[in-house]
Amino acid sequence: MTLHLRAQAASANQAVYKRIVGTGGIGSGMFFLLEGNRTLGRNETRMAELVPFRDYCKLHIILHYISVLTGTGAGGTMEVVPIGQVGRDEAGERLLREMAEAGMDTQHVAVSEEAATLFAVCFQYPDSTGGNLTTLNSASGKVSTEQIDAYFRKAAKFDSHEKGIVLAVPEVPLETRIRLLEQGRAAGYFTAASLLPAETAEFAARGGIELTDLLALNIDEAAALAAIEPDCREAATGSESVAIRATANVATPAAAIDAAPAAEASVGGDEATAAAGQFSAFGEATAAAQFSAFGEATAAAAAQFSAFGDATATAAADSEAIALACLRLLRRRNPRIAVCITDGPRGAFGCAADGRLERVPLLPAAAVATGGAGDAFLAGTLAGLSCGLPLTKGRDDTRFGETPLASAMELGTLLASLSVTSPHTIHPTANADLLGSYAAANKLTFSPAFAALFRTVPSQPN
């Protein structure tokens, strides 16, 4: 029987949730490996290798991992509900089938007769950084506020007391994502969101900051929120994301954010319930079979891995300044907002409602491809919150696992590290069994609350 993470409140101040409802992109794509690490120019033609990696879009990646980690379906108590659209095409049919096989409730994913399923062209440099081009005129672009309202009208009929999480991520219209946050807040759900750099001013103007309990960003997106020009700190990151025919970046998002009317902020709980279920989207694999391929993390693997690239002390300092500037800006509008910021080879920053900025180091791995690592990180973090873990640990470790793992962000980091050992943006056999074995192979120890999720690795007192 497949192991699933067990929901268990980590403290008296936390409560678990029954479901996660998300809207965002659902689609597929192709993957190119570029020649040379120099940033691709505006008018440049460059040779690249087309590789047979399976690529998925943001919402699908995040909800897939939450489904297979926490367990869904018959006998389970965790509902994973995507709200979106796909086209009436082969890609749409395949994606709906895979989502259902992973345990998601797909009845709120509509099939568009007018537009094709979202498609992305991903590219990766030899140093494992990269980005993507994503179609703007796809079925995902037609996801409407009415779809959001329809879900909550239906939900109100069969429950009025169940706690949940709503997740609003890019690749569907911002208006639709704001509506999900509004409906989630009104229903007492914990609200989580991510956004693109070009969306920062509009997100703030629509009240998105006040509506969000957890904002998930990468270092580029944090810089855009803090109105820091990314070109001035190119060494700090190598990632980029572009939407075809997208509007130009707003020059001064920070000024726009400060100009938007402030609203009273509130924050929900920090967790949710998990239950048993079966994952069969790609079949299951035992830990023993899987880890003949992985082995233990070695110094060579640590040097090789860059879910996000090599780091320098200067870049790390620059990144911390960006994170602090972004956090100060957000906290002026929503004093209780929690934030997590992925920072490439330097790991991630997290700030819970207590306002303390904490760095979570990277867990090195022998990376095959890094596409989807940031989405895996967010998925693991949300899964940890849903199972009752706190967002942050309360201390800065100098290396990952220096002290027993105890936080949702550490679960996200663990999953992101595992995810890059697969060439696909969704690791096809990732589940709680494999994640626990991966932690054991890396000689990681867990705090009692963290170990209670797995029951498979050594527990060490706090």
Evaluate whether residue 144 is within a structural domain. Answer: yes
Mean pLDDT rounded to a whole number for the chain:
80
Measured CA to CA, the distance from residue 192 to residue 212 in angstroms comes to 6
Here the CATH number for the domain that contains residue 299 is 3.40.1190.20
8 A C-beta contact, residue 410 and residue 372: no
What is the residue range of 127's domain?
19-36+48-454
Evaluate whether residue 30 is within a structural domain. Answer: yes
Measured CA to CA, the distance from residue 9 to residue 4 in angstroms comes to 16
Going by C-beta distance under 8 Å and a sequence separation of 6 or more, which residues neighbour residue 258? 329, 332
Which amino acid is it at 333?
R
Evaluate whether residue 344 is within a structural domain. Answer: yes
Going by C-beta distance under 8 Å and a sequence separation of 6 or more, which residues neighbour residue 186? none
Evaluate whether residue 261 is within a structural domain. Answer: yes
Count of structural domains, the chain: 1
pTM of the predicted structure, to 2 decimals: 0.79
> What are 113's two structure tokens?
């007769």
Evaluate whether residue 6 is within a structural domain. Answer: no
Evaluate whether residue 351 is within a structural domain. Answer: yes
Tens of pLDDT along the chain (462 residues)? 345 676 655 454 555 777 999 999 999 999 898 999 999 899 999 999 998 889 899 999 999 999 999 876 444 457 899 999 999 999 999 999 999 999 999 999 999 999 999 999 988 888 878 888 889 899 999 999 999 999 999 887 666 567 899 999 999 999 999 999 999 999 999 999 999 989 999 999 999 999 999 999 999 899 988 875 444 444 333 444 433 322 333 344 565 566 555 444 333 333 333 322 322 222 333 333 333 333 333 333 333 333 334 444 556 668 999 999 999 999 999 999 999 999 988 899 999 988 889 999 999 999 888 889 999 999 999 999 998 899 999 999 999 999 999 999 999 999 999 999 999 999 999 999 999 999 999 999 999 999 988 864 444 554
Evaluate whether residue 7 is within a structural domain. Answer: no
Evaluate whether residue 9 is within a structural domain. Answer: no
8 A C-beta contact, residue 196 and residue 241: yes
Q: Which residues are 341's β-sheet partners?
A: 217, 349
Measured CA to CA, the distance from residue 350 to residue 327 in angstroms comes to 10
Q: How far is CA 234 from each of CA 248, 311, 318, rounded to the nearest angstrom?
A: 20, 12, 10
Query: Environment class of residue 225 by beta-carbon count within 10 Å: exposed (0-12), middle (13-18) or buried (19+)?
Result: buried
**127-139 per-position pLDDT tens digit:** 878 888 889 899 9
For every residue of 365-422, DSSP letters joined together read: ---S--TTHHHHHHHHHHHHHHTT--S--SS--SSTTSS-B-SHHHHHHHHHHHHTTS
